[in-house]
Structure 1
Amino acid sequence: MSSLGWIDFDEAERQRAQRIMALFQERETRDELGLGAIRDSIADHLFPGTSTIQTRLRYMLFIPWLYRALEKREIPEAQLRAEARDTEIRLADALKAGGESNGVIGRDAGPRLQRLPSSVYWAGLGAWGIRAFPGSLDSLFVALRGRGRSRGASGSEDALASAPAPAVWNPALPRMPDDLLDQANFRLTADEAQFLIDRLVASQPTALLTMLAREGIDADCDHIWMHPHLSAFPAAARRLVQHGEIFSHVMHGAALLYNLALSELRQRDDWIEAYRERLAAWRDDLDPGAVRAWSLDEFWSVVEHPAHAVRPAAKRFVTEWRELVLGGVGQVISAPGARQLVEQRERRLKTSQSRFGNHAVRDRWTGASGADRLSFRWAQAKSHLRDLAHAE
């Protein structure tokens, strides 16, 4: 049994560990071949503050509204935590009462909800400059507890001055609707949308997400490289999108081959046929000339991100897979070298939990792992941009 822990003295490391643990709970982030750091680097450059389990943009306001009200309560920490959880669950009921059905976190789970909206959006609130408090949600509760103790120690002005309340939210945060916990919806007001755009401009001025938000661009396309305004993107963003497209396309073949190999080991003819068809389509769509012209040196340079360390083994895997593709994309499906490369990569990453080596783990496999093309959180960014564009 494996575990993940950290020493609780470095806030940056604590938040990094929390991001990693959050990924384990996100179905769409399955990373069977160790490409997650590259994928997330591209996504964080283009769409900072997003995650694959975010639903609707107004949660970026719901969370600070609810917590700003709770911060005024001088109650024990345990009670504050309990009330915060109860309030977030009540928000789901209020959204349902307001006629919302899609995107409501906790819509079906109710009091059994495990992943609260605050944990889903906490990192994004910081990345967008909506949250001024630098620590984790846990550390906020501790800070509020400390504030309450200092106030209780003495009623004097000196005592209050010696322990100033921590700045938690941006002072320009719009006013919370009076009936938020009775009836709520996801529709942004014009003032709320402008506040969110202003936060993006101030905190993430070079991000593609900021440019699209500022210009009010809402486009319904499956991938960011299919965007109708691609030619108008800033040069750096456009180049990164182009790199992301070829990386997503090339490495999709490795993911499909991984799923095909497992399907063959499971002796599932229906799965085998489906993955062979998908690999044939991948082969037909791939442009060998574009793959040959793809500069990996430039790619590693533009995707570099301080929050994600791309390990040398991951770079070697991408390089070796690209070489196999250039050697003959039509042969990759059956080439022993390609299958060996994919299998060895998964075995090194998963060790005793490798589906190639562990029969019990393989027998629990349900037929698809990371089988879709990498999209770098465009679906979530697209949803947020739509919410901004349709503010009332």
Structure 2
Amino acid sequence: MFVSVRGANLPSSLSWLDTSADEQRRVRELISLYTQSESRDELGIGQIRDAFADGLFPGTSTIHTRARYFLFIPWLFTQGAKTRSGSKLEAWTDTQERKLIKALKDEGIGAGEGLIGRVAGAGVKTLPSAIYWAALARYGILTRDAQPGMLGALRPAAGAHDELAVRETQDWHPTLPPAPGDFPDSVEGGMSLPFEEAVWLTERILGAAPGTMLAHLLVDDTPLDDEDTPPWFDPACLAADGEPASLLRHGRLFSSVMQGSALLYNLLIAERYEAAGLTTQTQPVDSYRKDISDWAENVQADGELLSAWDRQEMWDLVRTTNPRIGLQTRAFVDGWIDAVLAGEGAAVADDHGVRSMVELRERRQKGAQSRLVNDRLLRTWSGASGTSMLVYRWPQVKRIIADIREGIADAGA
């Protein structure tokens, strides 16, 4: 959890309270989304989206980039913990992370290929450790759910009589592979995982997330699709069976049907936008009516799958991952799906009841920040607010899986 602190003459600031690493990961993702031109959860279905993503690809995040960060971070902390702990260790690793970014950037390693700080360099605000921390704990690489300032407490080795004897920390997995020589001043191999590191990371994820789509992708040898396709069209994901395949099927139908609600919401904004005489966006009403028509055709093409959709099974699966999904959220989703399955399709654009349902949902979610009531925010509308298809972190997951697979395949070659 975080607190936004504001005062009459004070800038806004963020302060962390006593929360788990997973909760902090979710907040960082939320902050990251709001630094983009539009929020991606205008209608408040993010809990369901994240439940699908966490069920399919546990531990992942929309702000992950490359797999080797899962080793970069523990290497830095274990190096620093030899002589430091607590806040001193945290400050030391902050400096070392920035040194690592500069080394990778100066050497051209990873530039444009998932390097965190590629543009800002060593001055980047959000460091790799903040981005990967929750996943390190989720996969058991970080062996306790603690924040950086709590790590590095030095303990005498078992059987040692001298307090200054050989010491060890128990913060990181004991089989962590050794860092390359001169790390972090230089990084042999850059972002590419050597075979031993790829195998080690595979073992950690398989041990922490068995029976998931993520685990399947690490043990199955079906090639990943080279095209930019959603996971339900990727051959590697389609090769899965059991619960991962079921969850992916439900995720596909949920994404397909619910995209229409986002398009209708944007149509409502577009109508209000044109009625206000705003012209920065060109003919948005016609554009969204066409988008809704195209979406309806795609949904109709999935008619056989939708007619056999066991929604109760979907709810059971997503609530297994997140039992806190609210009743109002479920009621809105079920109401929208019922309208679509009733065969209304493109007709939702002009159905008064469906339009009112979407408008009420957005206004409840955003209050005075709703573009359907806030003229100032209406004027800043970029023309598309949360319209992308939900793909459950697949682009980031695909890159991580590719890194691991390439590390294992390179050794075989």
1:37/1:308 contact within 8 Å kept? no
Gaps of 5+ in 2: 5-13, 275-280
Once the two structures are TM-superposed, the CA of residue 142 in structure 1 deviates from its matched residue by: 3.0
Task: Name the amino acid aligned to 2:118.
Answer: R
Q: Give the whole-Å Cα distance in 2 for the aligned partners of 1:129 and 1:41.
A: 21
The share of aligned pairs that are identical, in percent, is 36
- What does the per-residue CA deviation read over 1:132-175, in whole Å, with 9 as the maximum and x for residues that have no partner? 122123xxx2343xx36x89xxxx947679xx865111111111
Moved more, 237-246 or 217-226: 217-226
Once the two structures are TM-superposed, the CA of residue 6 in structure 1 deviates from its matched residue by: 7.7
Task: Name the amino acid aligned to 1:133.
Answer: R
Give 1:213's aligned residue: 218
Gaps of 5+ in 1: none
Q: 1:78 to 1:204 in 2, by over 3 A?
A: closer
Give 2:246's aligned residue: 239
1:250/1:291 contact within 8 Å kept? no
2:29/2:61 contact within 8 Å kept? no
> Given the alignment of the two structures, is residue 359 of structure 1 paired with residue 369 of structure 2, yes or no?
no
Give 2:126's aligned residue: 115
Paired residue secondary structure (2:372): coil
Task: Name the amino acid aligned to 1:285.
Answer: N
Q: 2:340 aligns with which of 288, 312, 325?
A: 325
Q: Give the whole-Å Cα distance in 1 for the aligned partners of 2:272 and 2:317.
A: 38
Task: Name the amino acid aligned to 1:22.
Answer: R
* Matches for 1:1-392 after TM superposition, within 5 Å: 3=4, 8=18, 13-27=19-33, 30-74=40-84, 77-96=86-105, 97-102=107-112, 103-137=114-148, 141-144=149-152, 147=153, 157=161, 166-184=169-187, 185-220=190-225, 221=227, 222-267=229-274, 268-287=281-300, 288-307=303-322, 309-327=324-342, 328-391=344-407, 392=410
Q: Give the whole-Å Cα distance in 2 for the aligned partners of 1:324 and 1:286.
A: 12
2:218/2:401 contact within 8 Å kept? yes
Once the two structures are TM-superposed, the CA of residue 286 in structure 1 deviates from its matched residue by: 0.7
The structure with more strand, counted as a fraction of residues: 2
Once the two structures are TM-superposed, the CA of residue 89 in structure 1 deviates from its matched residue by: 1.4
Q: Give the whole-Å Cα distance in 2 for the aligned partners of 1:236 and 1:243.
A: 10
- What does the per-residue CA deviation read over 1:70-126, in whole Å, with 9 as the maximum and x for residues that have no partner? 111237x55433321121111112222143212110122124311110011111111
- What does the per-residue CA deviation read over 1:317-374, in whole Å, with 9 as the maximum and x for residues that have no partner? 1111012112311311222222211111011111121121222222222222211000
Task: Name the amino acid aligned to 1:334.
Answer: D
Q: Give the whole-Å Cα distance in 2 for the aligned partners of 1:336 and 1:37.
A: 27
Q: Give the whole-Å Cα distance in 2 for the aligned partners of 1:235 and 1:78.
A: 46
Paired residue secondary structure (1:173): coil
Paired residue secondary structure (2:119): coil
Aligned alpha-carbon RMSD (Å): 2.5
Once the two structures are TM-superposed, the CA of residue 275 in structure 1 deviates from its matched residue by: 2.2
Count residues with an aligned counterpart.
374
Q: 1:217 to 1:62 in 2, by over 3 A?
A: farther
Q: Give the whole-Å Cα distance in 1 for the aligned partners of 2:217 and 2:237.
A: 11
Paired residue secondary structure (2:349): coil
Task: Name the amino acid aligned to 2:60.
Answer: T
In the superposition, the TM-score normalised over structure 2's length comes to 0.83
- What does the per-residue CA deviation read over 1:9-68, in whole Å, with 9 as the maximum and x for residues that have no partner? xxxx43354133212223387211111111111111111111001011111111111111
1:260/1:276 contact within 8 Å kept? yes
The structure with more helix, counted as a fraction of residues: 1
Q: Give the whole-Å Cα distance in 2 for the aligned partners of 1:284 and 1:88.
A: 49
- What does the per-residue CA deviation read over 1:290-340, in whole Å, with 9 as the maximum and x for residues that have no partner? 333322211100112445621111110111101211231131122222221
Q: 1:352 to 1:308 in 2, by over 3 A?
A: farther
Q: Give the whole-Å Cα distance in 2 for the aligned partners of 1:218 and 1:85.
A: 38
Q: Give the whole-Å Cα distance in 1 for the aligned partners of 2:261 and 2:296.
A: 11
Task: Name the amino acid aligned to 1:315.
Answer: R
Q: Give the whole-Å Cα distance in 2 for the aligned partners of 1:306 and 1:223.
A: 21
Q: Give the whole-Å Cα distance in 1 for the aligned partners of 2:363 and 2:184.
A: 49
Once the two structures are TM-superposed, the CA of residue 382 in structure 1 deviates from its matched residue by: 0.7
In the superposition, the TM-score normalised over structure 1's length comes to 0.88
